[in-house]
């Protein structure tokens, strides 16, 4: 038969195990939580309301090494909090999918589409389409290689020179075989 002290030790051990079980259950409930972004900050963090719990500022999942992405969530956006330790104060914010407030922007399963404001970028199996009000490319040099190039619309060219097959065709080019009068000139010099 067990002594009273032995029974007290068993009861105390059961209380300790019950407390650990409660803590493990709480952590398991916090490993993955669905929520909505409440505020986004310029330092790459956001706060989330998840099932009645408001988080502190947490980072959203992104590339942050030599290749960096800036792709912030939006206030009200559905997200998933991932907290491997079960501590929501150390969670990461992952995208949570479409919702009534933020519906899908495309339905073709064989294409990728990204929408930012009124700009839409669609990638298909053989093309990349950018629809936007203004597109600016900045580089020291741009090389376009294609079998055929078509430009629709007015074209304005600004710069100090314009060449075609290494010949100056800019506003200061000269022609060979110039005949005064109504005759056509020769090709550019």
DSSP 150: -
DSSP β-ladder status, 112-116 and 119-123: antiparallel
CA dihedral 57, 62, 68, 73 (to 10 degrees): -60
How would you label 141-171 residue by residue, b for 16+ Cβ within 10 Å and e otherwise? eeeeeeeeeeeeeeeeeeeeeeeeeeeeeee
Percentage of residues in the chain with pLDDT exceeding 70? 98
Pair of tokens at residue 127: 């093309």
CA-nearest of 103, 112, 148 to 130 is 112
CA-nearest of 50, 46, 13 to 31 is 50
Higher pLDDT, 171 or 140: 140
Res. 181: pLDDT tops 80: no
The model's pLDDT over 53-105, given as tens digits with 9 standing for 90+, comes to 899 999 999 998 999 999 999 999 999 999 999 998 899 999 999 999 999 99
């Amino acid at each position: 038969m067990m002594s009273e002290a032995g029974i007290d030790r068993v009861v105390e051990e059961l209380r300790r195990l019950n407390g650990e079980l409660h803590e493990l259950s709480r952590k398991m409930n916090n490993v993955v939580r669905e929520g909505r972004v409440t505020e986004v900050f310029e330092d790459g963090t956001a706060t989330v309301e998840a099932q009645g719990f408001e988080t502190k500022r947490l980072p959203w999942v992104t590339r942050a090494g030599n290749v960096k992405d800036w792709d912030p969530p939006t206030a009200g956006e559905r997200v998933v909090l991932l907290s491997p330790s079960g501590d929501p104060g150390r969670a990461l914010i992952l995208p949570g999918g479409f919702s009534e407030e933020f519906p899908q922007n495309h339905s073709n399963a064989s294409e990728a589409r990204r929408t930012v404001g009124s700009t839409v970028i669609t990638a298909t199996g053989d093309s990349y389409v950018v629809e936007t009000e203004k597109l600016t490319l900045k580089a020291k040099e741009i090389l376009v290689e294609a079998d055929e190039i078509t430009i629709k619309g007015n074209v304005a060219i600004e710069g100090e020179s314009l060449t075609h097959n290494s010949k100056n065709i800019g506003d200061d080019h000269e022609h060979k075989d110039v005949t005064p009068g109504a005759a056509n000139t020769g090709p550019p010099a």
